[in-house]
Amino acid sequence: MTLSLYSDEQYMREALKQARYAFEEEEIPIGAVVVMDRQIIARAYNQTEKLRDVTAHAEMLALTSAANHLGNKYLQECTLYVTVEPCVMCAGATAWAQVKRVVYGASEPKFGFRRHGNLLHPKSELVTGILADESGALMQDFFARKRR
């Protein structure tokens, strides 16, 4: 099913829904959606515990799903929305897939890619801070719950 939406905030709300699924499954609550021509073509959330796979980040799963949907490894006309700043692995994957835009909510000072410079494709646009408070609060709630 595709869903037609029109603003970065609305797409990020869809990514937050995915992050909440991760939270409910006791996965780190990060969600992602891939949009092309104002249609969501892929949705995913972190599943590293469930799949016992360190690469099963929301972004990686969403990029794979989008590529399968399009039948093409290049996502040059797509935007990736992710609730938290991608890690180095995920940023690298967006570069290889030539994602047109990467939009994320909360910054990730420990593991986010930006502490290593710009790892995105040279033609990729980066937008940050969309629903950052909501995305960050979900992460804080998750880790507070883990510490109890």
The answer to whether the annotation marks 87 as part of a ligand binding site is yes
DSSP the chain: ---B--SHHHHHHHHHHHHHHHHHTTS---EEEEEETTEEEEEEE--HHHHT-TT--HHHHHHHHHHHHHT-S--TTEEEEEEE--BHHHHHHHHHHT-SEEEEEE--TTTBGGGG---S-TT-EEEE-TTHHHHHHHHHHHHHHHH-
Active-site annotation holds for 59: yes
Active-site residue among 59, 85, 108, 134? 59
Q: Which residues are annotated as a binding site for Zn(2+)?
A: 57, 87, 90
Residues recognised as catalytic:
59
Q: Which residues are annotated as a binding site?
A: 57, 87, 90
